[in-house]
Amino acid sequence: MDLLSQPVGTMHFLLVGAVLFVCGAVCMATKRNALGVLMGIELVLNGANINFVAFANDTFRADTSFALGLDGHLIALFVIVLAAAEAAVALAITLNYYNNHATIDVDHAEELKG
Amino acid sequence: MLAAIVWQSFFFLLFALVACAFGVAVVISSNIVRMAFYLILSLGATAGLFFLAGADFVGSMQLMIYVGGTLVLLVFGVMLTAQSPFISMKTRGGEWILAAIVGGSLFAVLVNRIVTVADWYGPAVATAAATQTAARPAAMRRNNQEPAEASPVVLRDARTATRLGMALSGPRVDRLDQPNPILRRGMSSYLLPFEIVSVHLLVVLVGAAYLARTKKRARGTLGET
Residue pLDDT tens, chain A, 114 long: 567 777 788 888 999 999 999 999 999 999 888 888 999 999 999 999 999 999 888 777 776 667 777 888 889 999 999 999 999 998 888 888 888 877 777 777 777 776
pLDDT score for B162: 78
| Contacts with B193 from chain A: Cβ below 8 Å | 74, 78
Chain A partners within 8 Å of B19 (Cβ)? 16, 19-20
Model pLDDT, residue B225: 43
Is there a contact between A21 and A44 (Cβ–Cβ < 8 Å)? Answer: yes
With a CB-CB cutoff of 8 Å, which residues 154-173 of chain B face chain A?
Answer: 154-156, 160, 163-164, 167-168, 172
**Residue B146: what pLDDT?**
43
Smallest CA-to-CA distance from B187 within A69, A66, A82 is with: A69
Q: Which residue is closest to B93 within chain A, CA to CA?
A: A30
Q: How far apart are CA A42 and CA A36, in angstroms?
A: 10
B8 touches chain A (CB under 8 A): yes
pLDDT at position A16, please? 94
pLDDT computed for residue A20 by the predictor: 95
Judged by a CB distance cut-off of 8 A, whether residue B80 touches chain A is yes
Query: Does B95 reach chain A within 8 Å, measured CB to CB?
Result: yes
- On whether any CB of chain A is under 8 Å from the CB of B29, the answer is no
Whether A93 sits inside 8 A of B6 (CB atoms) is no
Out of A32, A36, A73, whose CB is closest to B35? Answer: A36
Residue in B12, B81, B92 to test binding to A, most A beta-carbons within 10 Å = B81
pTM, two decimals, is 0.82
Can you list the positions of beta strands (E) in B1-57? none
Nearest to A73 among B4, B58, B96 (CB): B58
What is the pLDDT, as a whole number, of residue A25? 94
Per-residue pLDDT, B104: 94
Instruction: List beta partners, residue B88.
Output: B31
Kindly give the parts of chain B with pLDDT less than 70. Answer: 1-3, 82-88, 124-158, 175-178, 183-188, 214-225
Q: What is the DSSP string of A53-113?
A: HHHH-GGGSSSTT---THHHHHHHHHHHHHHHHHHHHHHHHHHHHHHHHS--BGGG--TT-
Among A45, A38, A21, A43, CA closest to A106? A38
Best CA proximity match to A69, nearest among A56, A59, A80: A56
Calpha distance B213→B114 (Å, rounded): 46
Q: How far from B124 is each of A53, B127, B134, B198, CA to CA, in Å?
A: 19, 5, 15, 40
Q: Does B151 touch chain A (CB under 8 A)?
A: yes
pLDDT tens sequence across B186-218: 666 788 888 899 999 999 999 988 888 866 555
Tell me which residue of A10, A16, A53, A5 sits closest to B122, measured CA to CA.
Answer: A10
